Chains A and B, each alone.
Chain A
Amino acid sequence: QQPVQSPQAVILREGEDAVINCSSSKALYSVHWYRQKHGEAPVFLMILLKGGEQKGHDKISASFNEKKQQSSLYLTASQLSYSGTYFCGTEAIQGAQKLVFGQGTRLTINP
């Protein structure tokens, strides 16, 4: 079952923060986050595993609430390069190696 992302689209000014949410109705083993720029392949950002861990690098971080089956991606002090469509991908079974992607959140950063 496809996870639900919100919001569907966000428009920000450079330097502002954004939060993108991903919710699943199924128990999850892991949540992946990817960014896809127009005309390019998706690029892996990070993976969060069952256990409710939080990860981050640079000004992009994410959390995974296992009880609620929700993950959030946090973009702090957004840069123009952050523009693109963000997808979460969920994996219900450890080792299944079968990601189900959300519908995507389009992020536009304006100068």
Chain B
Amino acid sequence: SAVISQKPSRDICQRGTSLTIQCQVDSQVTMMFWYRQQPGQSLTLIATANQGSEATYESGFVIDKFPISRPNLTFSTLTVSNMSPEDSSIYLCSVLDRDTSYGYTFGSGTRLTVV
């Protein structure tokens, strides 16, 4: 199955600052997905990142707050901008994995705490 390297694994940030999360996949993929998982909660899709086009954001998420880059078919970044304590969550990237019969493989996640 696909291997995703996500970093940083965790960070503690001051409110008002920004954090960029990186995901590197060991194979080329058309779409990459960014999820948020608040403590003890389910996964919520933030946006879908396509190479060569703007990301598609889900309801409740906006580009100014969560800008995404997708410079090539193996890499993507998610920035959490102007952070507040409400942004404290685990952020995960994911890809559709043909090697697992089209299940999704997730990165190890970034645990973000905003103070």
| Chain A interface residues toward B at CB < 8 A | 2, 32, 34, 40-47, 87, 89, 97-104
Contacts and interface: CB of A to CB of B under 8 A. Distances in A.
A42 B43 contact: yes
Interface in B82-115: 92, 96-97, 100-109
B60 to A, nearest CB: 13
Given A41-B92, A44-B97, A101 B108 contact: no
Contacts of B100: 44
A97 B31 contact: yes
Interface of B: 1, 31, 33, 41-45, 48, 92, 96-97, 100-109
Given A97-B31, A97-B96, A87 B42 contact: yes
Nearest to B107: A41
A103 B42 CA distance: 5
Given A42-B43, A101-B43, A102-B42, A32 B104 contact: yes
B48 A97 contact: yes
Contact of B108 (A2, A40, A45, A98): A40
Contacts of A104: 41-42
